[in-house]
Amino acid sequence: MSDVPEVSQPVVTPIRVVITVCLVAPFVAMLWVGSYAKTDPTFIGIPFFYWYQMLWVLISTALTMTAYQLWQREQRARKAAAGTDGGAQR
């Protein structure tokens, strides 16, 4: 027998898809300049172009925190599942 450990394929789970969407959404929103390249509507005198980008700073923070929390939850679940296997993956 070979002593080479088996390499498992990456697992795509619904939580990982949500994490990916959370991390990709701000990039898509900011790279799609045509959607916010205008001055109206203004918010407290600030043109739309600027306040939209400032709003995405807050949204990006919330989405990144959400992605991190989901990742931590999934990692804890994977460790718990691996621990209840009795070390079957060794």
Q: Is residue 24 part of a domain?
A: no
Token pair of 39 as six digits: 């001055």
Among candidates 6, 2, 1, which has minimal Cα distance to 88? Answer: 6
Q: Is residue 46 part of a domain?
A: yes
Q: What integer pLDDT is reported at residue 10 of this predicted model?
A: 74
pTM of the complete model: 0.75
pLDDT at 86 over 80: no
In total, how many domains does the chain have? 1
**For the segment 38-79, what is each residue's pLDDT rounded down to a tens digit?**
888 989 999 999 999 999 999 999 999 999 999 999 999 888
Could you tell me the residue range of the domain that residue 43 belongs to?
A: 33-77
Q: Is residue 25 part of a domain?
A: no
Q: Is residue 9 part of a domain?
A: no
Q: Is residue 67 part of a domain?
A: yes
Q: Is residue 1 part of a domain?
A: no
